[in-house]
Amino acid sequence: IGDKLTIGGKATAPNNNSSSNSNTSVSTGKLIDVAKSALGAPYAWGGTSLSGFDCSGFIYWAFNQAGQKISRLSTEGYYNRSYIINNPQVGDLVFFENTYKSGISHMGIYLGNNQFIHAGSSTGVTIANLNSNYWKKHFHSFKRFY
C-alpha cells in the first residue's frame, strides 16, 4: 500500500496518503479525516452540512471537502455511478438495501476492519460495524466511484 510504479518516467517517492482505490486524486487519508471530523453531527433528511446530514449528503460533503468534486445525488444515484469491488479498501463506498425502503437505501464510507462511517437516521454521523446483526442483514455491496 502506498507504493507507486512509474514506467517510462521519473520515479517519485511513495505518498502514503494517496488513494489507490480511485481514479481521482482524492487522498484516502484526507477523506477519512474529513469524514471523522463530522462524527456526532446530527441526521437531517436532505442535509449536506455539519448542521445535519442524510447518508448521501454525508458522502457528498465528505468527498467534496476532501477534494473530489462530486455532484449531489441520492444513494441510488451514487450506486449507479460506482462499480462493485470484491476486496474493499479504506475509502470505498458501502451500500445497504431494504433499510427504510426497498432496494438500495443507505450508504457509508468503508474504514477497514469491518467498520464504516455513515449518517444514520437514529445516530447521526457515527462509526458502525458491518458484522452487527442489522448491517449484516442489509449489506448489499462495496463499490468504488468510476
The catalytic residues are 55, 106, 118
Other CB atoms within a 10 A radius of the CB of residue 2 amount to: 11
User: pLDDT digit string (tens) for 100-133?
Assistant: 999 999 999 999 999 999 999 999 999 999 999 9
Instruction: Read off the pLDDT of each residue in 54-76 and give the average, rounded to a whole number.
Output: 98
What is the rounded CA–CA span in Å between residue 103 and residue 127? 23
Quote the pTM value. 0.84
% of the chain with per-residue pLDDT over 90: 82
Categorize the per-residue pLDDT at 22 as very low, low, confident or very high, splitting at 50, 70 and 90.
Answer: very low
- Decide if pLDDT at 73 tops 50: yes
Cell 471537502 sits on residue: 65
